[in-house]
Copies of this chain bind each other. A is one copy, B any other.
């Protein structure tokens, strides 16, 4: 089996031959999202995507190794829409990002695809890495930005100096990311309940003050 080059930034080391169509890439990703909306992950087929994109199946496989990787790329871009507008205080920033994330997960193309590729990633290391780099790591920026803003506002203390402090801070960011993202994902996809303003308020309150106060 010869190694092939999927998604190479530069099309080829050599430079002869017909170059890949750049439009095709976008058409395929668009078609993938559209198909996800219409039929969901379970009934999504490469043939269907190719047909919608007006492209041959071969063209898909020249660029993505399989359905999972294609879907990750098709969905990843949606996560880049997430932003963290400055709402003045940490609590409001948390509420804001939670609502945005909840709205994103409510869209059919994300809700149906995200859990599916995560599931596949449990037995596919390459896919796990792709998800991590294309989705997870990129969204941690929101947590970092929120913390920086809160520190600037004096709502949170500055990082402890030294290497240990940095490591502890990084660990904390991962924890907080898992808590925020996990709660929204679980509420939306597992519990099947909407993430609305009321839930956002309650979640932010809990996250900020903890059980002791929140329930006190």
Interface residues of A (CB under 8 A from B): 39-43, 90, 108, 111-116, 118-124, 128, 131-132, 136, 155-157, 171-172, 174-179, 181-187, 189-193, 199, 202-203, 206-216
Cβ of A119 and Cβ of B116 under 8 Å apart?
yes
Cβ of A212 and Cβ of B209 under 8 Å apart?
yes
| CB-based closest 7 A-B pairs | A182-B186, A182-B182, A210-B210, A40-B123, A115-B119, A116-B119, A209-B210
Cβ of A128 and Cβ of B210 under 8 Å apart?
no
Grouping DSSP codes into helix (H, G, I), strand (E, B) and loop, the A interface class, with mixed when no group exceeds half, is helix
Q: How far is the CB of A174 from chain B (nearest CB, A)?
A: 7
Once bound together, how far apart are the Cα atoms of A195 and B121, in whole Å? 18
Once bound together, how far apart are the Cα atoms of A187 and B176, in whole Å? 10
Given A186-B185, A191-B174, A210-B208, also A42-B123 (CB < 8 A): yes
Cβ of A211 and Cβ of B202 under 8 Å apart?
no
Q: How far is the CB of A39 from chain B (nearest CB, A)?
A: 8
A208 contacts which chain B residues (CB < 8 A)?
210-212
A118 contacts which chain B residues (CB < 8 A)?
115, 119, 189-190
Cβ of B186 and Cβ of A181 under 8 Å apart?
yes
Q: How far is the CB of A30 from chain B (nearest CB, A)?
A: 20
Q: How far is the CB of A71 from chain B (nearest CB, A)?
A: 11
A90 contacts which chain B residues (CB < 8 A)?
211
The residue in chain B whose Cβ has the minimal distance to the Cβ of A210 is B210
Contact among B122, B178, B215 with A115 in the assembled complex (CB-CB below 8 Å):
B122
